[in-house]
Amino acid sequence: MSMELELAEAEAVSADGAGSVIAAEGMFNLRDLGGFAVAGGRRVKRGRIYRSDDLSGLTESGQAVLSARKIRTVVDFRGCEEVALAPNRIPPAVARQVRLPIEPGNVIVLGRLTPETAPEMMCELYRVLARESQEAYRELFALLADSGNAPLLFHCSAGKDRTGFAAALFLLSLGVPRQAVFDDYLRSAELVREKYRRAIEDDARYAAVYTVRSSYLEAAFEVIDREYGGCDVFLTRRLGVDLSLMRSLYTE
């Protein structure tokens, strides 16, 4: 599938307001994960769970946007160096901050990074997320299982890989169809483009790194389907998710 077609399909899914983008000055990839259709005519509740890039660039205006959403818990998947380089600017109303660092190792090897090798390196990153980052995602779902933590926002640096995989798992746990999950995932390509435009202009090798492609997320789910028996088994047995509870909390 071409990148242009992927983006067109991803943009089309927003027509019904599912996964709506929220404008907050200083952020690029802030979205409400509500509005998606699930079985039985139900939908994912709006205003409960959000995904985003980091909060380090938030202006006072941007903080006010999050405060208006009554964000109670912020979950940060970034590693220690990332946090030190770009500390979050958390709105005062946030009651709880949780660090769940995911540092999948040096998968992106600069010495071997070329426009040709970058896509496979990204696929390998997603395989690592599925195999080696289960503890962080297990802890995320433990937080989600307590409705007192919502509204909850989870994020990494770009809000597209560690966060994109988390968002996919969250939506799938609620019964959102996989195609809609992939469509939502692909929207990050457009949303983070400006955030990384200069880095890509300076070094074209990063063009495939600072975006998303279907093949990246597919690589994670190939591991889940082949090695763990499918998504529901992965969620329940590896991540300890109570699917009935999740659907009772986050669909209506």
If DSSP codes are grouped into helix, strand and coil, which group holds residue 203?
coil
Q: How far apart are CA 76 and CA 179, in angstroms?
A: 26
Residue with tokens 């696929």: 123
pLDDT of the chain, 252 residues: tens digit per residue: 343 433 333 433 444 579 999 999 999 999 999 999 998 899 999 999 999 999 999 999 999 999 999 999 999 999 999 999 999 999 998 999 999 999 876 666 566 888 899 999 999 999 999 999 999 999 999 999 999 999 999 999 999 999 999 999 999 999 999 999 999 999 999 999 999 999 999 999 899 999 999 999 999 999 999 999 999 999 999 999 999 999 999 999
Q: Across the strands, what pairs with 37?
A: 43
Quote the pLDDT of residue 236: 98
Q: How far is CA 226 from the centre of its chain?
A: 22
Q: How far apart are CA 106 and CA 72, in angstroms?
A: 33
Could you tell me if 217 and 4 are in contact, meaning their C-beta atoms sit under 8 angstroms apart? no
- Model pTM? 0.92
Q: How far apart are CA 21 and CA 238, in angstroms?
A: 31
Strand segments (E) across 12-86: 31-32, 49-52, 73-76
Quote the tokens at residue 81: 């160096």
Quote the tokens at residue 60: 């006072």
Instruction: Give the number of other Cβ atoms within 10 Å of residue 123's Cβ.
Output: 19
Could you tell me if 154 and 169 are in contact, meaning their C-beta atoms sit under 8 angstroms apart? no
Backbone angles phi, psi at 51, to 5 degrees: -125, 150
Helical residues (DSSP H) of 39-196, grouped into ranges: 60-68, 80-85, 118-132, 134-144, 162-173, 178-186, 188-191
